[in-house]
Amino acid sequence: MKTASADLLCIAPHPDDAEIGLGATLRLLADRGRRVWACDLTRGELGSNGTPAERWAEAQEAAARLGLAGRLQLELPDGFINAHDPAQIAATTAVIRLVRPRWIVTAPAPVRHPDHLATPLLVKKAAFMARLTRVSPPRPAGRAWPAAWPEGDPARPWRCEAIFEVCPPGRTPSLLFEVTSAWTAKMEALACYRSQFEAAEGRRPTLINDAAFLAQVERVARHWGFRAGVELAEALRGDAAPLLGDLPPDRWT
Ligand SMILES: [Zn+2]
């Protein structure tokens, strides 16, 4: 139970949630040489627009734009993420053990969807189970990009250092990442999700294919950036306190 295989694993309910919540942070860390992974818990089959196959193709394209080391997609039931379901806990535990990340970030914001409310608890339970030697989940079903699922044994315990979630507006963040340099890449990654964000003919109007939605995503980042004295930032919150070896940069406030 020693070496991490990844620096950060973002676990989110639907394809595109990772990009909406912290896409620029994922790209920033990838640019720093970090091994960044994403896992979509569901195929997004209940979405008003786009088929699971279209959404997986878009998710792969977005993963490449963000420079991710890998992206996984489980087949948990969209709309029914359940932190008390042993099968869902087992599948998420197996993902954590196969990816072996130092940090896990869940992307529950925006929190209007019940899957977004359930995901942080599911992930916390799975991260705890991942530590226990007597828990032996099977290899989960799902898709992987750019190649096959990570090799390794889902029965091998793993203890991650910290779990964070994307901080919703109005809550107090634990960490802010300055993401000004990665913002264009985040917007390009979001643009890969044509079925979700383009209000093309034949598509049902939704909250997220209204142009106001992406403007709101940017407004949130400008809000966090303003707090920190930079242009754009993304915010995380969690129980962990990072251990510093020096004072943070002087624009920390
Ligand atoms: Zn979602």
pLDDT of residue 253: 62
Percent of the chain with pLDDT over 70: 98
Q: Which region among 39-43, 131-135, 166-170, 220-224 has the lowest average model confidence (pLDDT)?
A: 166-170
Q: What is the residue-averaged pLDDT of the chain? A: 93
Q: Grade residue 68 by pLDDT with cuts at 50, 70 and 90.
A: very high
CA of 42 to the centre of ligand 1 (A): 9
pLDDT over threshold 70, residue 235: yes
Higher pLDDT: 204 or 38? It is: 38
CA of 107 to the centre of ligand 1 (A): 8
For 179-228, how does the pLDDT look when each residue is reduced to its tens digit (9 = 90+)?
Answer: 999 999 999 999 999 887 777 777 887 777 778 888 999 999 999 999 98
Q: Grade residue 18 by pLDDT with cuts at 50, 70 and 90.
A: very high
pLDDT of residue 2: 62
CA of 217 to the centre of ligand 1 (A): 14
CA of 134 to the centre of ligand 1 (A): 32
CA of 242 to the centre of ligand 1 (A): 27
CA of 178 to the centre of ligand 1 (A): 24
CA of 119 to the centre of ligand 1 (A): 10
CA of 17 to the centre of ligand 1 (A): 5
Domain segments of the chain as ranges: 6-238
Higher pLDDT: 248 or 40? It is: 40
CA of 57 to the centre of ligand 1 (A): 17
Per-residue pLDDT, averaged over 17-42, amounts to 97
CA of 95 to the centre of ligand 1 (A): 19
Per-residue pLDDT, averaged over 18-33, amounts to 97
Interatomic CA distance for residues 81 and 42, integer angstroms = 9
Strand order across the 36-42 sheet: 142-145, 70-76, 36-42, 6-12, 101-106, 162-166, 233-238, 175-178
CA of 13 to the centre of ligand 1 (A): 5
CA of 139 to the centre of ligand 1 (A): 24
pLDDT over threshold 90, residue 157: yes
**What secondary structure does DSSP assign to 76-144, as a single string?**
EPTT---TT-HHHHHHHHHHHHHH-EEEEEE---STTSHHHHHHHHHHHHHHHHTT-TT--PPPPPEEE
Query: What residues sit around ligand 1, an ion, with C-beta below 5 angstroms?
Result: 13-14, 17
Class of 6-238 per CATH? Answer: alpha beta
Phi, psi values for residue 126, rounded to 5°: -65, -40
pLDDT of residue 16: 95
94 close to 137: Cβ distance less than 8 angstroms? yes
Q: Grade residue 76 by pLDDT with cuts at 50, 70 and 90.
A: very high
Per-residue pLDDT, averaged over 147-160, amounts to 94
Per-residue pLDDT, averaged over 129-146, amounts to 97
Residue 250: name the closest of 232, 230, 236 by CA: 230
CA of 108 to the centre of ligand 1 (A): 7
Interatomic CA distance for residues 21 and 190, integer angstroms = 11
CA of 79 to the centre of ligand 1 (A): 9
Interatomic CA distance for residues 158 and 97, integer angstroms = 6
Predicted TM-score (pTM) of the model is 0.94
